[in-house]
Structure 1
């Protein structure tokens, strides 16, 4: 797979807890849809914020949620919450969206990746990316809410920064 816009591409090296299914996931960022969210994700990736964080909530037929360093679903970064950047872009398999609390303007660092089409999320959450390679790795993440032995992001990077 060739990366056409390395500054707007991130890669997660994911440990699914099974070496046979662990691997890299490439996400194309969508600054055209959510410029503030994309800037936040890139800043957190570059700070190493996501390195070692678990996929703490993984629901079969719905999505895998990560981005909380505490692994509880209650944690986030020390940066201020973001204002919603909702669009009509559909949540389909591989769409990456920003998790939030009830307040639409409460997104911070947590995100989710859809396993399947989720039209009930359309216009309710911010879309900031899409998996373009490695969806099989996401599919292999251990399930649970919370996940007893979760898969983790070992390391994350912006493609521009890869050496």
Structure 2
């Protein structure tokens, strides 16, 4: 079965580059940072540089668990970025390095939507009356109106990731429940993927690396590769990088939301909000 991301030329034409904006007025203070769970950080060392993805099990628990299992088995080591579209995404995770393979594990049931509750750590950035936009950790999310929580049996509402730059998602075949091992990293925003693919995290370090990966559909040899893929918690303490990222509930982030909103006006998008990170 072909497990490549399914897109048409018409859909591709819908993508648009992000609008330019001025840099933040001030740097985050010490109180604005958070330290991500090291068990939820995917460290991808490529021939182009290091990429760190913050996985979000709150949004797609089965897919995050699959990525962790395959990573810890060494499945992703040496895998090529075999399909890379400039204004779209970079795809990898196929043992055949061509879009037709997968692991020996069963295909996953789709997690296009998830149930968002008041305990999810969701930080709202826009109230659209019938829906809301915000962040869970570093992942941009849209949901139904929070007013509906009081009307549902589980006290939760339907929500889904927004396909902003850096978002990590699972590739699949024709069937919705056909994701297995292949995944892609967004190079640019692509809203037409919402509720059609399972997003499970976001690049917090190395988006420039993702955008530097050799382009092609398929990519001509030599292809760029993931040399080594590890979970941060599994890296020996002596060589483990220290990672921190700005907390979406922080004062700096709230000020940044307003700055971007003022800059963008009616075209305001959560994808335009940059979340600073540091690695030492």
Under TM normalisation by the shorter chain, which class is it?
over 0.9
1:122, distance to aligned residue in structure 2 (A): 0.3
Match of 2:77 in 1: 51
SS in 1 for 2:177: coil
SS in 2 for 1:36: helix
Match of 1:153 in 2: 226
Structure 1 runs of 4+ with >4 Å offset: none
**Which protein is bigger by CA-based radius of gyration?**
2
Match of 2:196 in 1: 124
Q: Which of 52, 70, 75 matches 1:26?
A: 52
SS in 2 for 1:145: coil
Match of 1:107 in 2: 179
Contact 2:86 2:211 in 1 (8 A): no
SS in 1 for 2:79: coil
Q: Which of 70, 73, 87 matches 1:61?
A: 87
TM-score by length of 2: 0.55
1:102, distance to aligned residue in structure 2 (A): 1.0
Higher relative contact order (CA 8 A, sep 6+): 1
Distance 1:139 1:115 in 2: 6
| Residue 207 of structure 2 is aligned to residue 135 of structure 1 | yes
Contact 2:63 2:108 in 1 (8 A): yes
SS in 1 for 2:99: coil
Contact 1:3 1:9 in 2 (8 A): no
| Residue 31 of structure 2 is aligned to residue 41 of structure 1 | no
SS in 1 for 2:208: helix
1:3, distance to aligned residue in structure 2 (A): 4.5
SS in 2 for 1:10: strand
1:107, distance to aligned residue in structure 2 (A): 0.1
Show structure 1 runs of 5+ residues with no match.
Answer: 16-21
Q: Deviation digits for residues 7-62 of structure 1, max 9, x if unmatched?
A: 111100011xxxxxx21100000100000000000000000000000000000101
Distance 1:103 1:133 in 2: 32
Contact 1:51 1:153 in 2 (8 A): yes
Match of 1:4 in 2: 36
| Residue 166 of structure 2 is aligned to residue 94 of structure 1 | yes
1:70, distance to aligned residue in structure 2 (A): 0.6
Show structure 2 runs of 5+ residues with no match.
Answer: 1-32, 114-159, 237-280
Distance 2:213 2:61 in 1: 28
Q: Deviation digits for residues 76-109 of structure 1, max 9, x if unmatched?
A: 1000000000122111100000000010000000
